Amino acid sequence: METTLHLPELFGSRVFNEETMKERLSPASYGAWKKCVTEGTSLDISTANEIAEAMKQWAVEKGATHFTHWFQPMTGVTAEKHDSFISPVGGGRIMMEFSGKELVRGESDASSFPSGGLRATFEARGYTAWDPTSFAFLKEGTLCIPTIFCSYSGHALDKKTPLLRSLDEMSRQAIRILRLFGDTQTRRVIAQVGPEQEYFLIDKQLYARRKDLRMTGRTLFGAKPPRGQELDDHYYGAIKPRVAAFMKDLDETLWSLGVPSKTKHNEVAPSQHEMAPIYTDANTACDQNQLVMEVMKKVADHHDLVCLLHEKPFAGVNGSGKHDNWSLGTDTGKNLFRPGSTPSQNAQFLLFLAAFVKGVDEYQDFLRTTVATAGNDHRLGAQEAPPAVISIFLGDELNAVVESIIQGTEYTDASKKTLEIGVDVLPAIRQDTTDRNRTSPMAFTGNKFEFRMLGSSQSISGPNIALNTIMAEELKQFADELEQSTDFQGDLQKLIRRVFTQHQRIIFNGNGYDGAWIAEAERRGLSNLKSAADALPAYVAPKNVELFVKHGIYIKEEIQARYEIHVENYVNVLKIEASTMIDMIRHDILPAVSRYAADLCTRADSKKRMDVPCAYEINTAKGVAKIADDLMEQCRILASDLEELPAGPETAMRYCHDTLLPDMVNARASADALEVLTAAEYWPMPVYSQLLFSV
Ligand code: ADP
Ligand code: MG
């Protein structure tokens, strides 16, 4: 990439965005596309043909030879199948062709993507269909067209379809509420999302020598290094030249792809960093975050680095998460979670807040399942990430407002007056005071909520589908009630007070890392689903299934299918980790320490013959040999337990959690003890201090 670049020209230069469409389409086709995007109308084939032709011309001018329907199957990563534009015209010559039909719909042999039994129930193939609300872009000579992925009977096989459904439904219900407040302008309510992405960068050569990192994305072994993150010198510290070069390259690539990468800084752990884009609509944010993760890996590779997106690549230092900043905005530019400056705006704000509080309380278990993965289990509740208990942090000012509404008493602030909803204005909610609590899983940060439990490698789709749908449900209930009211102001007051009173238990403004909170949460009756194995069954709890079916986000079979995929995924991750561990113990660690112990014995022997003291050699050899025997036995147990993995997915998940994980913890403890005792030249892989402090 050029070093002297003009940012406004670079930004979005590889995106077939609205501006480009305006330039290259006839006014009629541009108008039809715009209407399709803002009002959900469908496009006719002649418009699609024109858009396809313009897209192809634009892409070919920029050097593209192929196009792909770019989609997000349930694997959590993106999938693409490239077709070239070429079409034979006789005489051995070709033309570059791309039709509206090819743009709008593609076929895909879906049989190798996880479908959780949906395909067996319905039929074998899947198709992809253009999502005109997300812009096409160019990636390495290929025109990428964001698409949904469905089975022929219309069942969602991907992470985009239900997200789009949830966005529509949330908008529909939110508009009902806005109309009650006299808003006649808003035509669409948009979920706005800004995902902050954490990651590690390590040296490629060292990575290549760690089988565990290559196979599982995390280290399965590794003793604590002499220095970890205790000096706190990495967080926001000066960025090292090699990392800075990576970040510059990353930014430029992302900007050209229209991703508004905004902030970058070092994170808490050594070698850990973060990137945050400027927020956008949830659908685009989700597509772009997938792209961000892909680009991070590729750009790292160009710099002889490896980007680790796993939630917990290293034990004993902080893992990586993703903060999902989420708010609702109108197409007229208003943020519905911004406390307003007039009584009416504030009443509306409090009603949306009440909906959120009620929804998070009622569906805390489901929200927990949306972040439940084997990788994320290593961070949630571990003093570095939010606990597994879900609660909402409101900050002191807003909390005082909620308290006074519940009590019907006076504020504790200086003004000392009773708040009458719809009549009075709220006291100023200062943004800086809401942002101090970093331990809350769901924090109000001035004009948005920050859902902080997401794992760094996961798609943000699932959590946002949940937030949108939960919001739709609560807003629907409120609208059903208030639309019938003959005394809107009075009933609004009562409803808000009732809801805050019934759901106050989910609000917690203290330290989420404190053990006392977990006990307190239990007294409050909040759910504490400690691991993915504990949490995932809630995915198909009847009340949760009912929620998604009622709002048309999933049919029952779709949600069941998704549940099965998540369970299978958990089991597969654990199986791969256990197998990798066994492999490394048998083929790398035990042979290495055996050689070390034997060499020590040989040296002790020759020293003894010369009458030289050799306690060091003998004691070390004995220590190493003893632990090696322990490790051999632990490895045997792990291997035999792995053999006995039950067949049923749910039983297998439980078994992995209850049996394989403890086996792995035991084996790791011995292996790490061996690492501490073994001379560096014998240890078969780079250790933590090398991995974490090499870049
Ligand atoms: P931090 O969490 O590090 O203090 P910010 O709060 O400034 O940083 O922003 C974090 C992320 O939240 C960014 O991606 C930002 O664009 C996004 N964000 C800011 N305002 C909103 C909003 N109203 N809705 C959704 N996301 C937002
Ligand atoms: Mg944040």
Mapping DSSP onto H, E and C, the string for 548-598 reads HHHCCCCCHHHHHHHHHHHHHHHHHHHHHHHHHHHHHHHHHHHHHHHHHHH
pLDDT at 26 over 80: yes
Regarding the beta carbon of 281 and ligand 1, being less than 6 Å apart is answered no
> How many angstroms does the Cα of residue 566 sit away from the middle of ligand 2?
27
> How many angstroms does the Cα of residue 62 sit away from the middle of ligand 1?
33
> How many angstroms does the Cα of residue 647 sit away from the middle of ligand 1?
44
What is the position in ligand 1's atom list of the atom closest to the CA of 279? 16
What is the position in ligand 1's atom list of the atom closest to the CA of 278? 16
- Do 176 and 563 meet the contact criterion of CB atoms below 8 Å apart? no
Regarding the beta carbon of 485 and ligand 1, being less than 6 Å apart is answered no
User: Which residues touch 255 (CB under 8 Å, ≥6 apart)?
Assistant: 7, 10, 11, 12, 261
What pTM does this model have? 0.95
> How many angstroms does the Cα of residue 498 sit away from the middle of ligand 2?
31
| E strands, 170-320, in order | 189-203, 261-266, 272-277, 280-281, 305-308
Regarding the beta carbon of 339 and ligand 1, being less than 6 Å apart is answered no
> How many angstroms does the Cα of residue 448 sit away from the middle of ligand 1?
8
CA distances from 405 to 397, 482, 565, 679 (A): 13, 19, 44, 66
Give the ligand whose atoms come closest to the C-alpha of residue 277.
Answer: 1
CA–CA separation, 625 vs 629, rounded Å? 6
- H helices of 504-555, in order, are 515-523, 532-535, 542-550
Q: Cα angle vertex 198, ends 206, 562, to 5°?
A: 105
pLDDT number for residue 431: 64
Regarding the beta carbon of 78 and ligand 1, being less than 6 Å apart is answered no
Give the ligand whose atoms come closest to the C-alpha of residue 386.
Answer: 2
Regarding the beta carbon of 335 and ligand 1, being less than 6 Å apart is answered yes
Regarding the beta carbon of 288 and ligand 1, being less than 6 Å apart is answered no
pLDDT at 419 over 80: no
Q: Which of 261, 266, 289, 325 to mutate to test the pocket of ligand 1 (most atoms within 8 A of CB)?
A: 325
The residue with greater pLDDT, 14 or 115, is: 14
What is the position in ligand 1's atom list of the atom closest to the CA of 338? 23
Give the ligand whose atoms come closest to the C-alpha of residue 325.
Answer: 1
Regarding the beta carbon of 194 and ligand 1, being less than 6 Å apart is answered yes
pLDDT in tens, 505-563: 999 999 888 889 999 999 999 999 999 999 999 999 999 999 999 999 999 999 999 99
Q: Are strands 142-151 and 66-70 parallel, antiparallel or unpaired?
A: parallel
- Do 133 and 78 meet the contact criterion of CB atoms below 8 Å apart? no
Give the ligand whose atoms come closest to the C-alpha of residue 434.
Answer: 1
Q: Which domains does the chain have, with CATH numbers?
A: 7-158 (3.10.20.70), 159-194+321-553 (no CATH), 197-320 (3.30.590.10), 569-693 (1.20.120.1560)
Regarding the beta carbon of 325 and ligand 1, being less than 6 Å apart is answered yes
By C-alpha distance, which of 309, 198, 195 is closest to 259?
Answer: 195
Range 260-271 average pLDDT? 88
Regarding the beta carbon of 277 and ligand 1, being less than 6 Å apart is answered yes
Q: Which of 430, 448, 460 to mutate to test the pocket of ligand 1 (most atoms within 8 A of CB)?
A: 448
CA–CA separation, 52 vs 47, rounded Å? 9
Of the pLDDT bands very low, low, confident and very high (cuts 50, 70, 90), residue 418 is: low
- Do 392 and 326 meet the contact criterion of CB atoms below 8 Å apart? no
Regarding the beta carbon of 192 and ligand 1, being less than 6 Å apart is answered yes
> How many angstroms does the Cα of residue 171 sit away from the middle of ligand 1?
21
At 449, give phi and psi (nearest 5°): -105, 145
Q: Identify the H or E element spanning 208.
A: helix 204-208
The residue with greater pLDDT, 273 or 126, is: 273
Look-up: residue for tokens 């549940």?
563
pLDDT at 689 over 60: yes
pLDDT at 413 over 60: no
CA–CA separation, 283 vs 161, rounded Å? 10
pLDDT at 672 over 70: yes
3-class DSSP state of 83: strand
pLDDT number for residue 5: 67
- Do 649 and 564 meet the contact criterion of CB atoms below 8 Å apart? yes
> How many angstroms does the Cα of residue 451 sit away from the middle of ligand 2?
9
Give the ligand whose atoms come closest to the C-alpha of residue 276.
Answer: 1
pLDDT in tens, 282-333: 999 999 999 999 999 999 999 999 999 999 999 999 999 999 999 999 999 9
> How many angstroms does the Cα of residue 325 sit away from the middle of ligand 1?
6
pLDDT number for residue 417: 61
pLDDT in tens, 601-644: 999 999 999 999 999 999 999 999 999 999 999 999 999 999 99
- Among protein residues, the one whose CA lies closest to atom 4 of ligand 1: 435
> How many angstroms does the Cα of residue 397 sit away from the middle of ligand 2?
20
pLDDT at 4 over 80: no
What are residue 70's DSSP bridge partners?
146
CA dihedral 494, 496, 501, 505 (to 10 degrees): 170
By C-alpha distance, which of 20, 48, 24, 66 is closest to 104?
Answer: 48
- Do 130 and 147 meet the contact criterion of CB atoms below 8 Å apart? yes
Regarding the beta carbon of 276 and ligand 1, being less than 6 Å apart is answered yes
Q: Identify the H or E element spanning 94.
A: strand 93-96
In the numeric block, which tokens belong to residue 91?
């005489």
In the numeric block, which tokens belong to residue 493?
């007051």
By C-alpha distance, which of 130, 102, 143 is closest to 37?
Answer: 130
3-class DSSP state of 693: coil
Give the ligand whose atoms come closest to the C-alpha of residue 281.
Answer: 1
The type of residue at 328 is L
Regarding the beta carbon of 278 and ligand 1, being less than 6 Å apart is answered yes
> How many angstroms does the Cα of residue 197 sit away from the middle of ligand 2?
10
CA–CA separation, 315 vs 229, rounded Å? 12
Regarding the beta carbon of 279 and ligand 1, being less than 6 Å apart is answered yes
pLDDT in tens, 441-457: 999 999 999 999 999 99
Q: Cα angle vertex 355, ends 324, 491, to 5°?
A: 160
In the numeric block, which tokens belong to residue 598?
């034997």
CA–CA separation, 306 vs 274, rounded Å? 15
Total residues belonging to the chain: 695
Instruction: Select the highest-mean-pLDDT range: 142-156, 262-276, 554-568.
Output: 554-568
Regarding the beta carbon of 449 and ligand 1, being less than 6 Å apart is answered no
- H helices of 610-679, in order, are 615-643, 649-655, 661-677
pLDDT at 29 over 80: yes
What is the position in ligand 1's atom list of the atom closest to the CA of 196? 14
Percent of the chain with pLDDT over 90: 78
